[in-house]
Amino acid sequence: MKRYTQRKLLFPLILSSCLALLGIGLPLSYADKAVDPCENCPFPKADEMLLKQISRGFSQVAKKAVPAVVYIESDTETKQQLPKRTKKGSSENPFDYFNDDFFNRFFGFPYDQEPKGKSGETVRGSGFFVKSDGYILTNYHVVENAAKIQVTLQNGVKTTATVVGTDPKTDLAVIRVEQKNQPILSFANSDQIEVGDWAIAVGNPFGLDASVTVGVISAKGRNQLHITDFEDFIQTDAAINPGNSGGPLLNIEGEVIGINTAIVSGSGGYMGIGFAIPSNMAKMVTEQLIKTGSVSRGFLGVTLQPIDPDLASFYKLDKVEGALVTEVIKGSPADAAGLKQEDIILKYNNVPVDNISSFRNNVSMMPAGNLLILQINRDGKLKELRVTIGSANDDENVANGLTIKKLGLEVQNLNDEISKKLNVGDEKGVVITKVQPGSPSQVAGLQPGGLIVAVNRKKINNIDEFNAALQESASNKEKRILLMIKQGQTVRFVTVNIE
């Protein structure tokens, strides 16, 4: 009897908290009574009324959101080939974070498996209207390689959509249908959400249209998940499944706080953890895609690593903070401003550098030409540097040379952290961080985590020497490049056809 009484005493407090989130006041007459005298009811009468009010709050969000959400079926044009992934911890690929078996895309296959991409097969997902004249926001992976995109509106009308623009780096895309005067959803400020806030997902899981699920924000700022290039994910326990991809994650006001993108799952289904692209990032990308069909990003030109307790002690920092500059790309805005290797970036525009991903994301959203004020620690002395933000196109031209266009891979210089993960000792070279699907490098069998130690029998030590070797090969009009690759403890030679 004691336990039941305690439950009844706590119940009004729990309801009060829920109703506060919904903007519903607790009736004074009920607040004065801690316990309802009805001993035989499942809930006291007043409790039942309050639960109905909570339910109506969610119903209002559903009524507002569902008409703006669409079901997307995308017929792929070509088979999308991804590099085969080894099991986590395999000696063939010591970069564990490239082999996470749990991340699933929402169109029905585990992230580490080959997606459905044969001609004639269908990828299914969700999206929602952001402009009344037919503009729809969804995930890039829902419409990637699409030969035909069919959109089903909530009134049952089926229509063909065209791609307005895509941004693979955030996994976002905008498509458009001819139907006008469509209901739209507006973006909330995702910086204002808090862990524990209500989260409402709307989409078409498994093709079941207009499905609404409710949960909470379970975490913010999730990054280094290696799902997309730019990551600042909202984590939620609202039930989302294959087919929800591209659908909205809403607050209790019915505003978009995120775009559902990925789930953690061992089976492909719901396991209580999903990730959504925050609305502030999505809004910036959406506006640019509608206006120009592409996204322009700010470019600084450095590679960074987080400050850990050991580094903080070595550099005699008062606390563990900031980001250590491991490389400054020649000719970049950072180089022009005088930033140097081993500088520690503490603040940017007076904002503390709490983690590298947030810093990188915020810089990327700055237009080219903007001024970035960096506060750095150099040899124990505080300095201020002024950097004029460049364009992300400069990033590809300066940092990667021919690597992306010709070979279809991305590389970076070795640092102490990567060398330890690869267990390469004093070996020099550049490490492969990404292989483009369907590229010459992917066809040749290159994988992330491989260390390129020589190009055309010439040893290389860094990106500059790697690019110089590629340029020499291009000037000689060579159709193939011979790479010496060290993967784990195995060394092998690979020829990449660049014709």
Least confident range of 138-142, 199-203, 306-310:
306-310
Amino acid type, 91: S
pLDDT of the residue at 140: 94
If you average pLDDT over residues 357-384, what whole number do you get?
89
* Rounded CA separation 430/94 (Å): 15
Taking all residues of the chain, what is their mean pLDDT, rounded to a whole number? 78
Name the more confident of 69 and 146.
Answer: 69
Q: Which residues of 421-460 are buried (b: 16+ CB within 10 A; e: fewer)?
A: ebebeeebbbbbbbbbbbbbbbebebbbbbbbbbbbeeeb
Gap between the Cα atoms of 324 and 426, Å rounded: 21
Q: What is the mean pLDDT of residues 205-227?
A: 84
In a 3-state reduction of DSSP, which class is residue 335?
helix
The span from the CA of 174 to the CA of 144, in Å, is: 12
Q: What is the CA radius of gyration of the chain?
A: 26
Token pair, residue 444, equals 């040749």
Find the range with the poorest average confidence among 88-97, 237-246, 414-423.
88-97
Residue 260 has pLDDT above 90, yes or no: yes
Phi and psi for 408 in degrees, rounded to 5? Answer: 80, 40
- The catalytic site residues sit at 141, 171, 245
Residue 185's SS3 state is coil
User: How far is CA 414 from each of CA 158, 426, 431, rounded to the nearest angstrom?
Assistant: 51, 10, 6
Of the segments 363-367, 378-382, 430-434, which one has the largest average pLDDT value? 378-382
- Retrieve residue 62's tokens: 């559903």
Three state DSSP letters for 136-154: EEECHHHHCCEEEEEEECC
Residue 306's DSSP bridge partners are: 323
Separation of alpha carbons 382 and 376, rounded Å: 6
The token pair at 313 is 């002690």
Would you place residue 100 in the very low, low, confident or very high pLDDT band (cuts 50, 70, 90)? very low
Q: Which amino acid is at 214?
A: V
pLDDT, tens digit (0-9, with 9 covering 90-100), for 283-318:
999 999 999 898 888 888 888 888 888 888 888 888
pLDDT confidence of residue 120: 59
